[in-house]
Amino acid sequence: MFKLNIYKENLSTNFLGHSIRYYPKLDSTNSKALELAVRNVPNGTVVITDNQTSGRGRHSNKWISTPGKSLTFSVIIYPNQKIDQLNKYPLIAGLAVTDTLIELDFAPQLKWPNDVLINKRKVCGVLYESKLSGRTIKCLIIGIGLNINEEQSDIHQELQKSSTSLNLESGFEFQIEQILTTILYNLESRLDQIDENEKIIDDWENRCIHLNHNILFKESEGENRGIFKGLSLQGQAIISINNKELIFNNAEISQIDFKQ
């Protein structure tokens, strides 16, 4: 069970997480956060649950978590930023998670646009959803699912080769509340850098697992192959196909060639 007293003792942000809504069980923290945002809950409100039963990923994928062992939460923010900043938020969230894992002596890497990996296996996913007003981002929900204390038997059989947890990688159990407060601190620091495009892009590319690698990716017109060359200043993927660099907003990487 999530311990609010430990969470409050460790929280050191200026605004993120000062308002928190804890639920023992939810279908999706992002869905609940969207409901709460309509009611204008405070900026930086965190929605968290011990047991997320219908977690969502990108493109209708599912996020499977283990009750009491995973960290599943969403953050509600009101950015008042232009829509061209939108793609940078999942990058910032991924950087905040990797900042936290580096502090814990892990060596995390990023997979565009929203996955965090350790030893080439997924440990964390980010899902962001937004509400726009004209060309302005009115509300943004950042959902984060992080595998923390799962053992091998907790990982779904179909995902055991591609997924991992902090426990599996280190042999240690971690305090979920403390990891959450550290992510929020790092996320707030990264949000303060939203206008520092080059820093965000440089930091992200330095942690990217597939930079300059051949990739197989899916987009609206089907599957394609190319070389991932990096990010635009707006956080879009730059992929070289037949020696021509193209920009993609919603490509989903399904395979990486590490043999190069």
What's the pLDDT at 59? 46
CA–CA dist 20, 8 (Å, integer): 10
- 164 with 82, same domain: the answer is yes
- 222 with 197, same domain: the answer is no
- 66 with 152, same domain: the answer is yes
pLDDT higher than 70, residue 69: yes
What's the pLDDT at 56? 64
pLDDT higher than 60, residue 260: no
- 64 with 154, same domain: the answer is yes
Predicted confidence band at 64 (pLDDT cuts at 50, 70, 90)?
A: confident
- 120 with 239, same domain: the answer is no
CATH number reported for the structural domain that contains residue 133 in this entry: 3.30.930.10
- 192 with 132, same domain: the answer is yes
Question: pLDDT over 90 for what percent of the chain?
Answer: 80
CA–CA dist 71, 146 (Å, integer): 5
Question: pLDDT over 70 for what percent of the chain?
Answer: 96
- 27 with 101, same domain: the answer is yes
What's the pLDDT at 207? 98
Average pLDDT over residues 191-206: 95
Q: Output the average pLDDT for the chain.
A: 92
What's the pLDDT at 219? 81
More confident residue, 59 or 46: 46
Average pLDDT over residues 46-73: 80
- 71 with 149, same domain: the answer is yes
- Domain of 137 in residue numbering reads as 4-206
- Of 190, 206, 222, the last residue of a domain is 206
Average pLDDT over residues 105-123: 95
pLDDT higher than 50, residue 87: yes
Residue whose pair of structure tokens reads 């200026």 in the numeric block? 14
Residue 68: strand, helix, or coil: coil
- 19 with 129, same domain: the answer is yes
In the chain, the number of structural domains is: 2
- 227 with 157, same domain: the answer is no
CB-CB neighbours of 109 under 10 Å: 20
CA–CA dist 160, 75 (Å, integer): 28
What's the pLDDT at 58? 54
- 197 with 222, same domain: the answer is no
pLDDT higher than 80, residue 208: yes
Average pLDDT over residues 240-256: 90
Buried b (16+ CB within 10 A) or exposed e, 141-170: bbbbbbbbbbeeebbeeeeeeebbbbbbbe
The tens digit of pLDDT for each residue in 142-197 reads 999 999 999 999 988 888 889 999 999 999 999 999 999 999 999 999 999 999 99
Q: Are 107 and 96 in contact (CB under 8 A)?
A: no
- 234 with 169, same domain: the answer is no
What's the pLDDT at 136? 94
